[in-house]
Amino acid sequence: MLTVPGVYAPQHDTHLLMRVVGRENIAAGPRVLELGTGSGALAVHAARLGARVTAVDISHRAVLCARLNAAFHGSRVTVRYRDLSTADPGGYDMVISNPPYVPAPGALPPSRGKGRAWDGGPDGRAVVDRVCATAATVLGPGGTLLMVHSALCGVPATIDGLAGLGLDAQVIERQLVPVGPVLRSRLPWLREQGLVDDERLDKEELVVVRARRN
């Protein structure tokens, strides 16, 4: 996938969610919305499996990058420059998202710069919670949310939050991956916040949450 500075390049979390999306009944042509598309890797993957995909991002660079990748791979993906809260009217069969989830100092995620692709606020949930809320709004009856994030964000908070929004949620996939440079650089701060207690953290647990609207 083509990426440019400031756009999240596909990594372990992207490929984990790709595998999970591949297990869904995409060939039937469901309407899929990707929230925070970045490079467009997940949107292109879903489209190649047969889904009708709309992808949104608040980064102009990401929107351009996703459009170029969709064109290069011959995938029909509608990419729009939009905030999560104005994603679309609704009626989607599936929402997919790999949101920024790395805990970071500061009350809010950055509004610009490369950190916007991964910083998720003090507890890593600033964007995760917004994805949950948007999914509950745009999914049609029986629709499904598939979202990947770090276990550092608090898995019970995601499950309970989705339940409060009327979605039946569970973790369907877990994977331990090497700690990346961003997380490694923040280990002293993460320990101060009580988010990690390991002196030498070398693995991070990723989880994929699947939630179904009743």
- Flag whether 173 is in a domain: yes
| CA dist., res. 142 & res. 161, Å (int) | 18
In sequence order, the 6+-apart residues with CB closer than 8 A to the CB of 1 are: 9, 10, 39, 40, 41, 44, 69
pLDDT of residue 109: 72
Share the mean pLDDT of the chain: 92
Give the model's confidence band at 24: pLDDT under 50 very low, under 70 low, under 90 confident, else very high. very high
- Flag whether 178 is in a domain: yes
pLDDT of residue 110: 67
Q: Angle at the Cα of 214 (from 84 to 166), degrees rounded to 5?
A: 55
What number is the average pLDDT over the span 73-92?
87
E runs forming strands in the chain:
31-35, 52-57, 77-81, 92-97, 139-150, 167-178, 203-213
| CA dist., res. 184 & res. 165, Å (int) | 34
Q: Which of 150, 145, 195 is nearest to 166 (CA)?
A: 145
Q: What percentage of the chain carries pLDDT values higher than 70? A: 97
Residue 26 in 3-state DSSP? helix
Are the beta carbons of 97 and 36 closer than 8 angstroms? Answer: yes
Are the beta carbons of 194 and 171 closer than 8 angstroms? Answer: no
Instruction: Please give the tally of structural domains in the chain.
Output: 1
> For the segment 103-118, what is each residue's pLDDT rounded down to a tens digit?
999 767 767 777 788 8
pLDDT of residue 197: 78
- Flag whether 182 is in a domain: yes
pLDDT of residue 77: 97
- Flag whether 47 is in a domain: yes
The yes-or-no verdict on residue 189 having pLDDT over 80 is yes
The yes-or-no verdict on residue 150 having pLDDT over 90 is yes
Domain membership of residue 128 as a residue range: 12-213
CATH, residue 104: 3.40.50.150
- Flag whether 2 is in a domain: no
- Flag whether 1 is in a domain: no
- Flag whether 6 is in a domain: no
- Flag whether 7 is in a domain: no
Question: DSSP class of residue 61?
Answer: H
Q: Angle at the Cα of 44 (from 214 to 183), degrees rounded to 5?
A: 80
